[in-house]
Amino acid sequence: MAKKKLNLGMIGYGFMGRAHSNAFRKVGNFFPLEHEIVLKAACARSEDKARAFAANWGYESIETDWRKLVDRPDIDVIDIASPNDTHREIALAAAAAGKMILCEKPLGRNSAESEEMVAAVEKAGVANMVWYNYRRVPAVTMAKQLVEEGRLGRIFHYRAKFLQDWTINADLPQGGAALWRLDVNVAGSGVTGDLLAHCIDTAIWLNGPIVEVSAMTETFVKERMHNLTGKVEKVGIDDASLFLARFANGSLATFEATRYARGHKALYTLEMNGEKASVFWDLHDLHRLQYFDHADEGRLRGWKSIHITDGDQPYMKNWWVPGLQIGYEHSFVHQVADFVAGLESGQPAGPNFRDALQTDYVTDAVLASARERSWKTVKQG
Amino acid sequence: MAKKKLNLGMIGYGFMGRAHSNAFRKVGNFFPLEHEIVLKAACARSEDKARAFAANWGYESIETDWRKLVDRPDIDVIDIASPNDTHREIALAAAAAGKMILCEKPLGRNSAESEEMVAAVEKAGVANMVWYNYRRVPAVTMAKQLVEEGRLGRIFHYRAKFLQDWTINADLPQGGAALWRLDVNVAGSGVTGDLLAHCIDTAIWLNGPIVEVSAMTETFVKERMHNLTGKVEKVGIDDASLFLARFANGSLATFEATRYARGHKALYTLEMNGEKASVFWDLHDLHRLQYFDHADEGRLRGWKSIHITDGDQPYMKNWWVPGLQIGYEHSFVHQVADFVAGLESGQPAGPNFRDALQTDYVTDAVLASARERSWKTVKQG
Amino acid sequence: MAKKKLNLGMIGYGFMGRAHSNAFRKVGNFFPLEHEIVLKAACARSEDKARAFAANWGYESIETDWRKLVDRPDIDVIDIASPNDTHREIALAAAAAGKMILCEKPLGRNSAESEEMVAAVEKAGVANMVWYNYRRVPAVTMAKQLVEEGRLGRIFHYRAKFLQDWTINADLPQGGAALWRLDVNVAGSGVTGDLLAHCIDTAIWLNGPIVEVSAMTETFVKERMHNLTGKVEKVGIDDASLFLARFANGSLATFEATRYARGHKALYTLEMNGEKASVFWDLHDLHRLQYFDHADEGRLRGWKSIHITDGDQPYMKNWWVPGLQIGYEHSFVHQVADFVAGLESGQPAGPNFRDALQTDYVTDAVLASARERSWKTVKQG
Amino acid sequence: MAKKKLNLGMIGYGFMGRAHSNAFRKVGNFFPLEHEIVLKAACARSEDKARAFAANWGYESIETDWRKLVDRPDIDVIDIASPNDTHREIALAAAAAGKMILCEKPLGRNSAESEEMVAAVEKAGVANMVWYNYRRVPAVTMAKQLVEEGRLGRIFHYRAKFLQDWTINADLPQGGAALWRLDVNVAGSGVTGDLLAHCIDTAIWLNGPIVEVSAMTETFVKERMHNLTGKVEKVGIDDASLFLARFANGSLATFEATRYARGHKALYTLEMNGEKASVFWDLHDLHRLQYFDHADEGRLRGWKSIHITDGDQPYMKNWWVPGLQIGYEHSFVHQVADFVAGLESGQPAGPNFRDALQTDYVTDAVLASARERSWKTVKQG
């Protein structure tokens, strides 16, 4: 039986362009879907870069102007994998053109941009999704199952952190192709939008709305050479961002993100403590979930290290055999699989633009709280 | 050569009374000191309890009124191991009587009480120390060495938490002998004074003054039966206490303590991230220090799990052979050893009452911040 | 610049057929090679299975008779991913037809078969490789680098084990499609050829020749229903296989493999203890290497957990960014990349058939030692 | 109620003399027994050493001739903590004098010596015990409980190793006070009697009789300067000792001990794999037991890290509060507590001399197997 085609146009060719392309190429080999994804066109401002990227990943054609790509009638889905400052404009145009949209996170550079994007896709009635990929690390997905099954009971505490150390060197410049994440105009914020946004998306998904925050941020290196101007310029992003929070369910939380935690490359950890059970997960060993169940016999209670590689664990029957771990990239494959399955079932998979907007309301509140040194109530969308 | 005697009078017979007594008995077997500690008298209001405690630990005599103990001319040192609401009064009397004083933490129930206690011992000129024992877990002591040697460089982040789960059960009563920690009148506060105080003492010792905090607290179970009245009464203590902080050296911190973290019995963890290196420690495996050194060759960088049992590591030449771990109780032995050695050398070991007062200034600021929902500047003593 | 084509014919469609196909499809996206692999034909006895497999993985055509595939002039490389009892016959025919050959491990069911296979490829002068994929887990490859750089010094000890638990259930049948590994006629042996062979290949690669062994084996469940006959039949394979060994370099070893180690899905661990340093690796957390360096400052010595995700670590510059782990499947991608790069450079990558024969000499000696209850000298090829 | 007195005479003043003395002093503070242990006399050949040791630990008197100590009517129990070559002679004399005997392990230097010792205590009818202390690490004791409750089911595999690295340096001399363990005449053997003996005692206790072994040993450094002669002499001990074994219950095992495993100070690990569950323990983190229970719900199966500090876990109600770990020395305290409780209840605690003899039969078989390069059946006592 021939598969239906889903023609995809990719905008961007960096780290995320690669991660998404790999997922598009692999998903059909591992997940039985009615649709196949056709890599129709890759778009980059530089023709050379577009051509090289397309050749490497097997895109059929290239564009150097995203507006042309958006207008092509042979494209069903637009994937926005370009820097944050382009998300809004592309999404608005793609929605207007009636395309489905996959957008890298964060949605906009702030919630004002994101609100426009939500309005656009909802008005156009097009499928939309944001690449908060960590929801689909199997261990995290299983944590969600456990929460939904009521195994944790009332939640008392949530804590998450995302620690990196790659910008400690004061000689690192800001801006330009590989370093746009350090340029506030392009990125919108620093670790708040880049790293904390991941933590917040997962947290809301697992534990419900965040209602108020008290935050602090810091920029440790105040000036860096700017790659685009060649001059030493003020650094506008936050290098570290920490906040206390209260969830609607009454639980308390600490959140922290930084690029100045020596020794941690990408340590995203999350933990939930419930009345009946607790879970802990760590991106550095993403194929494990730590689980403590108070219902266990007293003297045999302990944290269980669950190696998530068995067929009865989320997504894993599609991969290898028990004991053989998958990696980071597979979370993107799962997201594509769920997106396509959602189209087929009529039950769209999340997080959609509206979900991502809610994360932006939290990051906006975090930045405002840090700026104004006071507790902020989070807008609920 | 005969040892000089240090005659000790112990007030209290609970968990800390045992921990201290064990330390007093053992220290001479493992540490070569000029003094020996003589367990002269144990004091408890109940004669039966005093007698049983004295028999068990080898105290020569008993008292049932601490005032009598304080007045005894044959006592050199008073150890205050009774509940928090007794610390101030005993300390003031003991100082007035010219006794050396060892006091369980926290010093007073609040900084006002502690200030009086500091004034009293400083006026009397008596040796004084507070049982913040975690400074003397060898792994923590070694972290201090590494910081002082400049191995971490500029500090960017500090994080500490102390997680327990023993009060989740809503049927647990408050107050009375074993549960005075849940009675706000006796304890002064909940986890803030009980657990966070430990975290703060270590933090200041390792990383310098804390200058400002933003905190939140929660009492999850609002009412509990009171053991002393037999009635269900409002719970006055904080069950959980979290705060953001800034240190004088510019580093940022999260602190958290709770008795509602299912799965954690006494998980005190601390981590420091410096420009050059990071350290991490965990009370649940107290004989290990995790250390990351950025100076290591690039591809071989990683967190090193240092098993602190070798003779060149703090305190360990006095114990067994490499590979054989010590436990919780040994931190008290080290504290006694250092206290006595400090008397002998004339270089008093810390933390003294004044050091502990500084911790109280932080906990006071934490409680005030949580109450008033605003950042608070910490008083510097 | 157009890539040269390498036309591949795949025989087999099971677990390994999938693992290899995934590698062939991905390698070009991540490794810059002069050749591209063209999935020309997939072969299975069942036409339906061949067709489904080809459709899933994008093979251009199918065959149902491997002899036809071997004879096709448009095929450059034959990949043997079918059960062990077919390896010899296919390899001989493919070599005679002048095809390059990739063969799943173990090479033959015993060294007699393997010797014929080695003779055939060497006579034909065709490129040949065996899928001992664990050499190319980056952490294992880095262990090899450390050994070659002399960082471990004289080796005293080697230990390896491969523990599974999937055949404990006595109701599990033997034989047939999914369970041919339990049928001694098809598999040749049990865990000795299946799991120990992996351990031995890595061991010889890292630590040189194994010269003598003393072994014991056990078949815990003596009879199982046979899927092909429908009758309960004697189980001919070894369920567990353990041996002591001496390497040519004087080091001592223990090896163990079993499918009866409750709680372990695929726990392949290896450790080398050298005069100067030690390494440890564990397949269940394959993206980490544990390293102990005696040259570290005394009190700071410890086992370092190296998270192998950085660009200066083997193969990792081709994947994602630091901190983001790869999984099991990537070892196959690396093997394909090295095979193709070896063709291009004229420096063939190992392990080739002759290398794999040496592993068979060890497994033969292990089985003979267990049978005869005596030390056996290993034939050196 | 006054305690009955148990007057103890200690022979030896080294590492074990300290470990035992500490246990004798502490046991009464933590375990409610009818007897108190009185440190009556300490014996060493050197009067200075005896006097210093007695002063340090509080022994009431000293002896310099163990025969005099054995003959003293005021001594109830003789503790033999002197080097291995003295065990037999002292034990025979002590038994003849009707004293209870505690003897450091191994019992004799070989089973011939041990048989004499068993005969002596059994003939004399005196209480006797051997200091295989690891049985009484709470985590190991709990493993024993789990086995006895049938939670593991049929056992398939046992594995144990005891790895150290302190004799790698070829310049280390042999013999004399601190290094008698390297002198074969004093020690009887190398790691076989020193380290493997521990592994074997625990193994037999947990898993029943060992019936046959195949072993290999090695002396990596062939000659060392001898402290007693001042000359370079042949090293007679085994530096490493490895063996395969079969237990009477049909399970298979690997055992390994060495002092050449760089990075391991005292890594004694043991693991049992049963049909229904598995346990793992590691001396380097002795306060934890790893437990895998196949009865857990499928997707939630995993190894549980049980922090053995709770009151419902073996021995722990006598110590501190949940979460606070004990250390190595406590295993000796437990052994004394059980020895005394055994006297009081009339149910003697093990391991007694006869139990220890069985361990010697295994170590004798191991050494013979290694020498003769063949499987050896173990004598059953």
Contacts of D22 in chain B (CB under 8 A): 26, 29
In the A/C pair of chains, how many CB contacts fall below 8 A? 95
Omega prior to B351 cis, within 30 of 0: yes
Instruction: Give the span between the Cα atoms of D101 and D112, in whole angstroms.
Output: 19
pTM of the model: 0.97
Q: Chain C: residue nearest D160 by CA?
A: C254
Find how far residue D349's CA is from the centre of its chain.
14
**Which residue in D243, D263, D276 is closest to C292 by CB distance?**
D263
A267-287: b (≥16 Cβ within 10 Å) or e: bbbbbbbbbebbbbbebbbbb
Question: Do residues D136 and D331 lie in contact, with contact meaning Cβ atoms separated by under 8 Å?
Answer: yes
Q: Is residue B334 helix, strand or coil?
A: helix
Chain-chain contact of D214 with C214 (C-beta, under 8 angstroms): yes
DSSP string over C22-36: HHHHHHHHHS--SEE
Taking only residues 297 to 356 of chain A, the set having a beta carbon closer than 8 angstroms to any beta carbon of chain D reads 298-307, 310, 312-313
**Which residue in B142, B299, B305 is closest to C312 by CB distance?**
B299
Q: Chain D: residue nearest A317 by CA?
A: D299
pLDDT of residue C176: 87
pLDDT of residue C380: 97
Q: How far is residue D93 from each of residues C28, D61, D76, measured CA to CA in Å?
A: 80, 20, 14
Contacts of D33 by beta carbon, 8 Å cutoff, 6+ apart: D3, D27, D337, D340, D341, D344
pLDDT of residue A177: 80
Taking only residues 230 to 269 of chain C, the set having a beta carbon closer than 8 angstroms to any beta carbon of chain A reads 264-267
Interface test with D, best of C262, C293, C374, C376 (most D CBs within 10 A): C262
Q: Which percentage of chain D shows pLDDT scores above 90?
A: 98
Q: How far is B304 from chain C (nearest CA, A)?
A: 4
Contacts of C374 in chain D (CB under 8 A): 373-375
Q: How far is A28 from chain C (nearest CA, A)?
A: 7
Say if residue C51 is exposed, middle or buried (CB neighbours under 10 Å; 0-12, 13-18, 19+). Answer: middle
Contacts of C274 in chain D (CB under 8 A): 262
Contacts of D261 in chain C (CB under 8 A): 156-157, 273, 278
CATH of A136-377, one of 1.10.274.10, 1.10.540.10, 3.30.360.10, 1.20.1560.10: 3.30.360.10
Question: Do residues A283 and A188 lie in contact, with contact meaning Cβ atoms separated by under 8 Å?
Answer: no
- Is residue D207 scored above 80 in pLDDT? yes
Chain-chain contact of B240 with A274 (C-beta, under 8 angstroms): no
**Which residue in A256, A260, A303 is closest to B254 by CB distance?**
A256
Chain-chain contact of B15 with D321 (C-beta, under 8 angstroms): yes
Instruction: Give the span between the Cα atoms of D318 and D27, in whole angstroms.
Output: 10
Chain-chain contact of A304 with D300 (C-beta, under 8 angstroms): yes
Contacts of B2 by beta carbon, 8 Å cutoff, 6+ apart: none
Instruction: Give the span between the Cα atoms of C135 and C143, in whole angstroms.
Output: 10
Q: How far is A205 from chain B (nearest CA, A)?
A: 20
CATH of B134-377, one of 3.40.50.300, 3.30.360.10, 3.30.420.40, 3.40.50.620: 3.30.360.10
- Is residue D360 scored above 80 in pLDDT? yes
**Which residue in D293, D298, D303 is closest to A305 by CB distance?**
D303
pLDDT of residue A35: 97
- Is residue D1 scored above 80 in pLDDT? no
Q: Which percentage of chain B shows pLDDT scores above 70?
A: 100
- Give the tens place of pLDDT for each residue, A254-290: 999 999 999 999 999 999 999 999 999 999 999 999 9
B241 strand-pairing partners: B217, B257
pLDDT of residue A136: 98
What is the CATH T-level fold of the domain D4-132, as seen in this structure? Rossmann fold (3.40.50)
Instruction: Give the span between the Cα atoms of B349 and B266, in whole angstroms.
Output: 26
User: How is residue A136 annotated by DSSP?
Assistant: G
Answer positive or negative: Cα dihedral of C65, C67, C71, C74. Answer: positive
Chain-chain contact of C285 with A286 (C-beta, under 8 angstroms): no
Chain-chain contact of C261 with D273 (C-beta, under 8 angstroms): yes
Question: Do residues D124 and D96 lie in contact, with contact meaning Cβ atoms separated by under 8 Å?
Answer: yes
Contacts of B277 in chain A (CB under 8 A): 262-263
Chain-chain contact of C300 with B307 (C-beta, under 8 angstroms): no
- Give the tens place of pLDDT for each residue, B50-103: 999 999 999 999 999 999 999 999 999 999 999 999 999 999 999 999 999 999
Q: Is residue D73 helix, strand or coil?
A: coil
Name the residue ranges covered by the structural domains of chain B.
4-133, 134-377
Instruction: Give the span between the Cα atoms of C250 and C336, in whole angstroms.
Output: 34
Contacts of D162 by beta carbon, 8 Å cutoff, 6+ apart: D191, D195, D196, D198, D199, D256, D257, D258, D266, D267, D268
Average pLDDT over residues B279-300: 98
Is C291 part of the contact surface with chain B (CB cutoff 8 Å)?
A: yes
Q: Give residue C305's region: left, alpha or beta (phi > 0; psi -120 to 50).
A: beta
Average pLDDT over residues B2-12: 96
DSSP string over A177-229: GGGGGG-HHHHSSSHIIIIIHHHHHHHHHHH--EEEEEEEEE-SS-EEEBTTT
- The kind and range of the H/E element at A361 are helix A353-372
Q: How far is B181 from chain D (nearest CA, A)?
A: 14
Is D166 part of the contact surface with chain B (CB cutoff 8 Å)?
A: yes
Chain-chain contact of A299 with D312 (C-beta, under 8 angstroms): yes
**Which residue in D21, D320, D327 is closest to B325 by CB distance?**
D327
Instruction: Give the span between the Cα atoms of C226 and D47, in whole angstroms.
Output: 76
Q: How far is A315 from chain B (nearest CA, A)?
A: 27
* Closest C-alpha to A43, from A77, A15, A76, A67: A67
- Is residue A1 scored above 70 in pLDDT? no
Dihedral, CA of residue C124, residue C127, residue C130 and residue C133, to nearest 10:
180
Is B291 part of the contact surface with chain C (CB cutoff 8 Å)?
A: yes
- Give the tens place of pLDDT for each residue, A181-208: 999 999 999 999 999 999 999 999 999 9
Superfamily for the A4-133 domain? NAD(P)-binding Rossmann-like Domain (3.40.50.720)
Say if residue A345 is exposed, middle or buried (CB neighbours under 10 Å; 0-12, 13-18, 19+). Answer: exposed
DSSP string over C209-267: -EEEEEEEEE-SS-EEEBTTT-SEEE--S-SEEEEEEEETTS-EEEEEEES--TT-SSE
Chain-chain contact of D306 with A313 (C-beta, under 8 angstroms): no
Answer positive or negative: Cα dihedral of B133, B139, B142, B144. Answer: negative
Contacts of C327 in chain A (CB under 8 A): 287, 324-327, 330
pLDDT of residue A293: 98
- Is residue D2 scored above 90 in pLDDT? no
Contacts of D73 by beta carbon, 8 Å cutoff, 6+ apart: none
**Digits of tens for pLDDT over chain C (381 positions)?**
689 999 999 999 999 999 999 999 999 999 999 999 999 999 999 999 999 999 999 999 999 999 999 999 999 999 999 999 999 999 999 999 999 999 999 999 999 999 999 999 999 999 999 999 999 999 999 999 999 999 999 999 999 999 999 999 999 999 988 899 999 999 999 999 999 999 999 999 999 999 999 999 999 999 999 999 999 999 999 999 999 999 999 999 999 999 999 999 999 999 999 999 999 999 999 999 999 999 999 999 999 999 999 999 999 999 999 999 999 999 999 999 999 999 999 999 999 999 999 999 999 999 999 999 999 999 998
Average pLDDT over residues D27-46: 97
